[in-house]
Chains A and B, each alone.
Chain A
Amino acid sequence: MQTVMNAQKREHISSFRRQKRREILVGYSFVTPAVLLLIFFLVLPFLLAVAFGFTKFNLLRPDKIQFTGFENYKLLFTDGLFYKSLWNTLYFTVIVVPVQSGVALMLALLVNNRLKMRNVFRIAYFSPVVTSMTVIAILWISLYNPNEGLINSALHFFGIPNQPFLRSPGQAMNSIIFMSVWQAAGYQMMIFLAGLQGISKDLYEASSIDGANKLQQLRYITIPSLYNVTVFVLTITTIQAVKLFVQPYIMTNGGPENSTRTLALLIYQQGFQFRNAGYASAISVIFFLIVVLISFSMKKFLRDK
């Protein structure tokens, strides 16, 4: 009797194990495509970039790659254009992240009200997001036209003289910032809106019974409740901002006087236009380290609060 029991038990355990193993296998087979894609298109290229960063590699001479040690990095740290691009990228990020997130929050609060046609407003604010950035950039070139652009015509109406916008080193980056905020704020607005709708109505009801006014509700209920959403929004906005490429590529090609050259644009120009794949890889590695540094410090800073 005992032995039969044991055998049954053993049988049971081994079938359990088999099932477990099968489950694990199924799990692995589900993640395999994703992991493979990541390895081939993210991990491997990055490792290659690190390796190429130590070489002189002309894109048209792949058979003549020369190992040059830290030569590219030496060049990089003496390249004025690299520092300029780094500064431009940081400037854009530092301005765009708070402004864009702030605008997005305000828009979200607006369209969260029970106004008439609020869906029309929601769609209006969101529509630039679904339009191609390239199209928007081309459109804004003509809006910003220093001679006859729509914005200058509007300024004229108020007696302000023509502004050069994209065609002046002093205004070009700010012009790009303005149009980028306009384009992208709708996306963050949608995330904030989702966050706002997740806040329980009870909190507002209870506070109004306690005599809180709208401003106090905003300060003590809405904003604290949105903390996690805000962290998320700030993080993705920052990551998007440091990658700034399309707007300067289309609108200014990095000019005038390199005032809108960003790191991404510099990498593209060196790697693809000048075919210096080795040097471009070295910049990419530094760029990667900077992005990692920023996102880690943001995570730490925002979590510790």
Chain B
Amino acid sequence: MKKGILLSLLAVSLLAGCSGGETKNSGSTSGSAEGSTIELTFWRPQASEVEDNVYVKRIEEFNQANQGKIHVKMEVITRGNSFAYEDKINAAVASHTLPDVLAMDGPNIANYAASEIIIPLDEYFSKEDLDDFVPSILQQGSYQGKFFAPGLNESSVVLFYNKKIMAEHGITPPDKIENAWTWDEWYDVMKKTSKDGVFGTNMINDKGEWMTYAFEQLWISGGTDIVNKEGTTAEGFVNSQKGVEAAAFLQKLANEKLFNIDPKPTEFEEGKAATKLGGPWNIPGFKNYPDLEWGITYFPKKPGGIQTAPSGSWAVGVSGDTKHPKEAAEVIKWITNKDSSTQLAQAISMPASRKSAFESLTEYNELPLRIIKEQVTGVSHARPVTPAYPVLTQKFAEALTDIMVGADVKKSLDNVASTFDDEYKRNFAE
């Protein structure tokens, strides 16, 4: 019996070892140091090959630079479905086997910080160093006045447009931020272009996290947000008058069938949508459609409202389980420094998380990418920083989906507010 348990444990650990996909040790480093080397582990989810390669290279360089002092072993966790990585973290929390350094999605930072899974890093970053990060990275990485996790890169949502369709209707999308389209102007464009199987826009990436990521900005543009600044209550924010107006705008677009609620992912690429709310990650795919002539303009704002844009990215933090916080913070600083940020931005078509990194990214000085840079470095807002974020994003996404298919706007938003507030009071209020 004992043998059986041992055997099965062995089998499980073997399987775990296989799926871990550990990166190769650069070999000699750990051997030469004779015990004085501090071994650190670093978890991050598997991404595209080019992205993974940047990390492998940067970690190797870190190990060389710190030979005899620190050695980092990076474990790339496969992410079969979107929660496999988070599930692994949950399990590691329970068994206190978290790595020293871990990557996490931006909106999870507050939740992990509140649960003491990650520790504050303020003492390891100088003021100038922090100021070099774009503002949305600092916003996303801070919880209750402390800084926990810098982002590896940034993201943004812009409005892509089909140049041919715009030309047909004599529309010239703005290329200066002060002229950015308002909701009304965008609506007029959609009205004009939406016919013969072409939708005015394509704006449903998925009905989950995307809904919060992209559409929370409509609340911000109106001068409110979906929760208060402290992240403790949604009542009077998500369901405020301005919030209702934002949601009613989305419902109007849906009622007039200006977008497809269940779109094909390549609707815009195939010329079946005149505009598209999307991000830099869409751009590489556009190459597969030689007939498509595309341009970029700013994320539309509320008439008379605030110019804003979505942001958010994966970030890295130091786990509460680590025995070497100082060394782990060194790794974080290295992997998010100017060189790393620049190299990552070059490899994947995502904007950098540091202002200084844009210096060498010259392609961001000209159209169309200039628009992304202006949004990232100037006007972007991070998603709400609250430990009850998982409930907020689920309920908000559900409500927006319901509203788009005809549910009562006020009632749906009231429900988000009361569910979030109950949850916060029950689990996070002191």
Interface residues of A (CB under 8 A from B): 32-33, 36, 56, 58-62, 141-142, 144-149, 164, 166-169, 253-258, 269, 272-276
Task: Identify which of residues 22-65 in chain B touch chain A, using a CB-to-CB cut-off of 8 Å.
Answer: none
Inter-subunit contact B390/A256 (CB<8 Å): no
The 0/1 profile, CB within 8 Å of A marked 1, for residues 56-90 of chain B is 00000000000000000000000000010001001
Given known contacts A59-B90, A168-B406, A254 and B262 CB-to-CB distance under 8 angstroms: no
20 A–B contacts, CB within 8 A, in A order:
A36-B4, A59-B90, A60-B111, A60-B115, A60-B117, A144-B262, A147-B257, A147-B260, A147-B261, A147-B262, A253-B208, A253-B397, A254-B398, A255-B398, A255-B405, A256-B402, A256-B405, A269-B394, A273-B394, A275-B390
Inter-subunit contact B407/A256 (CB<8 Å): yes
Sorting the interface of chain B by its residue count into under 10, 10 to 19, 20 to 34 or 35 or more gives: 20 to 34
Report how far A167 CA is from B423 CA in the complex, Å. Answer: 27
B388's nearest neighbour on chain A, judged by CB, is A274
> Which B residues are CB-close (under 8 A) to A142?
262, 264
> Which B residues are CB-close (under 8 A) to A32?
1, 4
B112 at the interface (CB under 8 A from A): yes
Inter-subunit contact B405/A167 (CB<8 Å): yes
B15 at the interface (CB under 8 A from A): no
B94 at the interface (CB under 8 A from A): yes
Inter-subunit contact B4/A33 (CB<8 Å): yes
Inter-subunit contact B405/A164 (CB<8 Å): yes
Task: Identify which of residues 215-267 in chain B touch chain A, using a CB-to-CB cut-off of 8 Å.
Answer: 257, 260-262, 264
> Which A residues are CB-close (under 8 A) to B401?
253, 255-256
A265 to chain B, nearest CB (A): 12
> Which B residues are CB-close (under 8 A) to A257?
402, 407, 412
> Which B residues are CB-close (under 8 A) to A147?
257, 260-262
Report how far A200 CA is from B90 CA in the complex, Å. Answer: 57
Inter-subunit contact A58/B427 (CB<8 Å): yes
Task: Identify which of residues 76-115 in chain B touch chain A, using a CB-to-CB cut-off of 8 Å.
Answer: 83, 87, 90, 93-94, 111-112, 115
Given known contacts A142-B262, A145-B262, A60 and B112 CB-to-CB distance under 8 angstroms: yes
Report how far A146 CA is from B255 CA in the complex, Å. Answer: 12
5 closest A-B pairs by beta carbon, nearest first, are: A60-B115, A167-B405, A62-B94, A145-B262, A256-B402
New A-B contacts (15) at CB < 8 Å, excluding given A142-B264, A148-B260, A168-B405 = A32-B4, A56-B426, A58-B115, A60-B93, A60-B115, A141-B262, A144-B262, A145-B260, A147-B261, A164-B405, A253-B208, A253-B398, A254-B398, A256-B407, A275-B390
B147 to chain A, nearest CB (A): 20
Inter-subunit contact A272/B262 (CB<8 Å): no
A91 to chain B, nearest CB (A): 19
Report how far A58 CA is from B4 CA in the complex, Å. Answer: 33
The 0/1 profile, CB within 8 Å of A marked 1, for residues 252-286 of chain B is 00000100111010000000000000000000000
Report how far A272 CA is from B401 CA in the complex, Å. Answer: 21
Given known contacts A36-B4, A62-B93, A164-B405, A274 and B115 CB-to-CB distance under 8 angstroms: no
Inter-subunit contact A274/B391 (CB<8 Å): yes
Report how far A164 CA is from B394 CA in the complex, Å. Answer: 23
Report how far A164 CA is from B1 CA in the complex, Å. Answer: 57
B111's nearest neighbour on chain A, judged by CB, is A60
A75's nearest neighbour on chain B, judged by CB, is B426
Report how far A255 CA is from B403 CA in the complex, Å. Answer: 11
Task: Identify which of residues 309-366 in chain B touch chain A, using a CB-to-CB cut-off of 8 Å.
Answer: none
Report how far A274 CA is from B427 CA in the complex, Å. Answer: 11
Report how far A183 CA is from B405 CA in the complex, Å. Answer: 26
Q: Name A167's contact: one of B1, B117, B261, B427 (CB within 8 Å).
A: B261
> Which A residues are CB-close (under 8 A) to B93?
59-60, 62
> Which B residues are CB-close (under 8 A) to A36?
1, 4
